[in-house]
Amino acid sequence: MSHAIFLHAAGDARFAPFNLREGAASETLLDVAAVGLCGSDLHYYKDGGIGSAVIAAPFVPGHEFSGWLTEDLPELGLARGALVAVDPNQACGQCQHCRDGHPNLCPEVVFIGAPPHDGAMTERIWVPKSQIVPVPERFTPSDAVMLEPLGVAIHAVDLAKPRLLERVALIGCGPIGLLILQVLRTVGVGEVLACDPQPHRRALALKLGASKAGASVAEIADWTKGEGMPLVIEATNAPEGFRDAIRAARIGGRVVLVGIPDGDSYVVPAAEARRRGLTIKFSRRMGHVYPRAIELVAQGKVDVDAVVSHRFSLADGPDAFRRHAANEPGMVKSLIYPHGPADDAR
């Protein structure tokens, strides 16, 4: 009997037996090596859903994951036991949005780990063979897991279109924010001013390349003498994140919103945005970015392991949800290992 972490409702995560479904001919079975606890997983735990995606019945979360093949996949040049990553986004490929190059926005998407589709916080999972992502042999399970959030960061920077030596404000230094920070450093931006209320996250931002890190956007205003920044990227879970991004931007600036706010609502002062004449973009998931994510990790240009602060067994997964929801000091990014944390060195 397998086990999994189930989300039953807001604030209700349980470790319980799991009946693995039958796979289809188009799928392959993975032994889950590691799975990340993403901010969206945390929203399901805290709010019971994200927009129209609500917990109507207990489901298994987890869309950032890596696993070991249980069979040969000669069509991909992979043998049984190979470590692979998985793209959780199975777009329809037929709608206008997919044809326009936006599979991340497909209304008919089947997304692993978003209700009602069970995810990877379990020991084994069936996944479409088309979603398998081969990784270099020297990658660890955590390296492979972190390709998905790194892909989200790459997509956000793609939307931002930072200019050479342009100054950037980063609002939110959680896992996605810290990955965005590292991607920004690879594309030749200038000064990056970071903002986060938690001291340990500000310290990590400085270690990973931020020029300055403050507790609030008021410090960004001070540092820029009230002018604001030409480019602002927001990656928080706060309803005030949109407002703070607006206040950090200069007149004529650009804002990219990456975070999902608690309660699925923003606090937005309309006049401040209008009077600045801001260009605002919303970022959701990612496009076809896995090859670049793999190269950034393989070449050592992005340190994904630096973002991982905690590791848990599957049985302790509900505690990981509780501790993140409580915003305990020191928490940044947690990974769950269904077969034990030692698997990272398998």
CATH number at residue 102: 3.90.180.10
Q: What is the CATH number of the domain that holds 244?
A: 3.40.50.720
Mean pLDDT for the stretch of residues 260-281: 89
User: How many separate domains does the chain show?
Assistant: 2
Q: Where does the chain show beta strands of DSSP type E?
A: 2-9, 12-18, 27-37, 49-50, 53-54, 65-69, 83-86, 89-90, 110-111, 124-128, 132-134, 168-171, 192-195, 212-214, 229-234, 249-257, 279-282, 310-313, 334-337
From the number of C-beta atoms within 10 Å of its C-beta (0-12, 13-18, 19+), residue 12 rates as middle
Is 303 within the bounds of a domain? no
Cβ atoms 143, 23 nearer than 8 A? no
If residue 222 lies in a helix (H) or strand (E), which one and from where to where? helix 217-223
Report in angstroms the alpha-carbon separations of 47 from 173, 210, 336: 22, 32, 21
300 is a domain residue: no
Q: Poorest-confidence range of 95-99, 105-109, 306-310?
A: 105-109
Clarify whether residues 114 and 229 are in a common domain.
no
C-beta separation of 231 from 168 below 8 A? yes
Query: Would you say residue 96 lies in a domain?
Result: yes
- Does residue 200 belong to any structural domain of this protein? yes
Instruction: Give residues with Cβ within 8 angstroms of 282, minimum separation 6.
Output: 256, 257
Asked if residue 297 is part of any domain, the answer here is no
CA geometry: angle 288, 53, 40, nearest 5 deg: 60
- Whether the pLDDT of residue 200 is over 90: the answer is yes
297 alpha carbon, distance to own chain's centre: 16
Q: Is residue 169 a part of any domain in this protein?
A: yes
Query: Is the peptide bond preceding residue 116 cis, with omega within 30 degrees of 0?
Result: yes
Q: What single DSSP character describes residue 59?
A: B
In this structure, how many other beta carbons lie within 10 angstroms of the beta carbon of residue 67? 28
Q: Is residue 287 part of a domain?
A: no
Q: Are residues 130 and 160 in the same domain?
A: no
Q: What is the mean pLDDT of residues 75-86?
A: 96
Question: Taking residues 15-27, what's their average pLDDT?
Answer: 94
Type and span of the H or E element at 242? helix 241-248
Residues 141, 21 share a domain? yes
| Average pLDDT score, the chain | 93
Whether residues 261 and 199 fall in one domain: yes
Sorting pLDDT into bands at 50, 70 and 90, what band is 282? very high
Question: Partners of 229 in the beta sheet?
Answer: 249
The reported pLDDT for the residue numbered 215 is 94
| Same domain (yes/no): 50, 141 | yes
pTM: 0.94
Range of the domain at 195: 151-282
Q: Are residues 72 and 127 in the same domain?
A: yes
- The SS3 assignment for 42 reads helix
Q: Which pLDDT belongs to residue 346?
A: 44
* Residues 129 and 24 placed together within one structural domain of the fold: yes
Query: Does residue 345 have a pLDDT over 50?
Result: no
Same domain, 218 and 277: yes
Residue 291, in any domain of the structure: no
CB 66 within 8 Å of CB 79? no
Residue type at position 204? L
